Amino acid sequence: MSDLVSIEAQVRVGRGKSYTRKLRASGKIPANIIGKGQSTPVELDPKLLSKAWKSTKQFNLVLNGATRVVSIQELQIDPVRRLALHVDLMYV
Among 89, 88, 87, CA closest to 77? 87
Does this model's pTM top 0.85? Answer: no
pLDDT value at residue 36:
84
Q: What pairing do the DSSP bridges indicate for beta strands 39-44 and 29-34? A: antiparallel
> What's residue 2's pLDDT?
58
- Which residues make beta-bridge pairs with 44? 9, 29
List of the chain residues with pLDDT < 50: none
pLDDT score recorded for residue 47: 82
List the domains of the chain with CATH numbers. Answer: 6-91 (2.40.240.10)
